[in-house]
A = this chain, B = another copy of it.
């Protein structure tokens, strides 16, 4: 039964990829499921997708819980749709409404009924079985880009390393803040000054919004003197915009800022550099997984066990044992 299911799926792959590149929402959803599941069919999927990779602009959206990431994403989607662009959304955030199975189900079903809708929304588990954001997200990006998305928004909660990860995946990273959340201090702590290409202060009608803007400007004024900022080519200084996402106010300004950043990226060669770095990270992660699996296969057999027993008995030190293991893997 399982074998039958697998072979059926594998047989479907070229057809699925064709349908996905024609913009079929169900096919897109199934391909992203293959990505999330780490399916063996992924090799074939990625091989078929490579020549039709598309040219989606990848926008990262990050911020602390409560700053209005989902609302801002919705407002941006609406702004892009008004421009007639196709938009993909990857919500990598367990606390986001997009991640709610039911709501997401509704949206997916809605797309099934209107495949020309021009919006793909997908929630992804923040930590996949193979290392999370950095592993699965680039491949989901490929699927959405090949499906004809002009823009893909990756929305993720800015906690821990997530905002650094999303910045490494995105062409343009937007850091969202909101008044009354101690964001000024938080910003300095988490090093978001380093990752932000655009700052958006949301909930700008609330008290303290101007103070957040002033805090950011002050930190930027310090930051431009630091070596890590000085190394930026052509001196992109992240603009600070104000929005009221719940009312849709300011979303067009954000889209314009993204476009200006895109022009800067292209003019300085930074776009190619970022995308090459991203691909190198992805290739390296896959290669390490392949090597880890080979070691795992050896572990399933007796080779590693024999080496380990010799280490326990003091016949072999762990480095020499590792050398033998590496030789077995690479032999």
The answer to whether A50 and B283 have CB atoms under 8 Å apart is: no
The answer to whether B290 and A276 have CB atoms under 8 Å apart is: no
B residues in contact with A304, CB < 8 Å: 280, 283-284
Among A21-29, A251-259, A315-323, the one that faces the other chain is A315-323
Q: Is the interface of A mostly helix, strand, loop or mixed?
A: helix
Q: Is A53 interfacial (CB-CB < 8 Å)?
A: yes
The 8 A CB mask of A132-162 against B (1 = contact, 0 = none) is: 0000001100000000000000000000000
B residues in contact with A305, CB < 8 Å: 276, 280
Closest B-chain residue to A322, C-beta based?
Answer: B286
Cross-chain contact of A318 among B279, B307, B318 (Cβ < 8 A): B279
Interface residues of A in 275-331 (CB under 8 A from B): 275-277, 279-280, 282-284, 286-288, 290-292, 295, 299, 304-305, 307-309, 311-312, 314-323, 325-326, 329-331
Closest B-chain residue to A274, C-beta based?
Answer: B312
Cross-chain contact of A322 among B290, B314, B326 (Cβ < 8 A): B290
Chain B CB within 10 Å, residue with most, of A46, A47, A275, A312 = A312
Please, how many angstroms separate the alpha-carbon atoms of A51 and B280 in the complex?
42
The answer to whether B284 and A319 have CB atoms under 8 Å apart is: no
Q: Is A42 interfacial (CB-CB < 8 Å)?
A: yes
Closest B-chain residue to A281, C-beta based?
Answer: B308
Q: Is A200 interfacial (CB-CB < 8 Å)?
A: no
Please, how many angstroms separate the alpha-carbon atoms of A283 and B319 in the complex?
7
The answer to whether A326 and B279 have CB atoms under 8 Å apart is: no
Q: Given the known inter-chain contacts A283-B325, A292-B288, A325-B284, please indicate yes or no for A47 contacting B308, CB distance below 8 A.
A: no
The answer to whether A283 and B307 have CB atoms under 8 Å apart is: yes
Q: Given the known inter-chain contacts A284-B304, A307-B283, please indicate yes or no for A46 contacting B323, CB distance below 8 A.
A: no
Q: Is A43 interfacial (CB-CB < 8 Å)?
A: yes
Closest B-chain residue to A309, C-beta based?
Answer: B276
Please, how many angstroms separate the alpha-carbon atoms of A316 and B48 in the complex?
10
Q: Given the known inter-chain contacts A312-B272, A330-B329, please indicate yes or no for A318 contacting B288, CB distance below 8 A.
A: no
Interface residues of A in 156-179 (CB under 8 A from B): none
Closest B-chain residue to A331, C-beta based?
Answer: B330
Q: Is A49 interfacial (CB-CB < 8 Å)?
A: yes
B residues in contact with A51, CB < 8 Å: 314-315
The answer to whether A308 and B329 have CB atoms under 8 Å apart is: no
Please, how many angstroms separate the alpha-carbon atoms of A138 and B312 in the complex?
12
Q: Is A107 interfacial (CB-CB < 8 Å)?
A: no
4 nearest A-B pairs in the assembled complex, by CB-CB distance: A330-B330, A286-B322, A280-B308, A279-B308
Residues of A within 8 A of B (CB): 42-43, 46-47, 49-53, 138-139, 272, 275-277, 279-280, 282-284, 286-288, 290-292, 295, 299, 304-305, 307-309, 311-312, 314-323, 325-326, 329-331
11 further interface pairs, Cβ-Cβ under 8 Å (given A290-B323, A291-B326, A330-B330): A43-B317, A46-B317, A46-B318, A46-B319, A280-B305, A283-B307, A284-B304, A284-B322, A286-B322, A287-B322, A290-B322
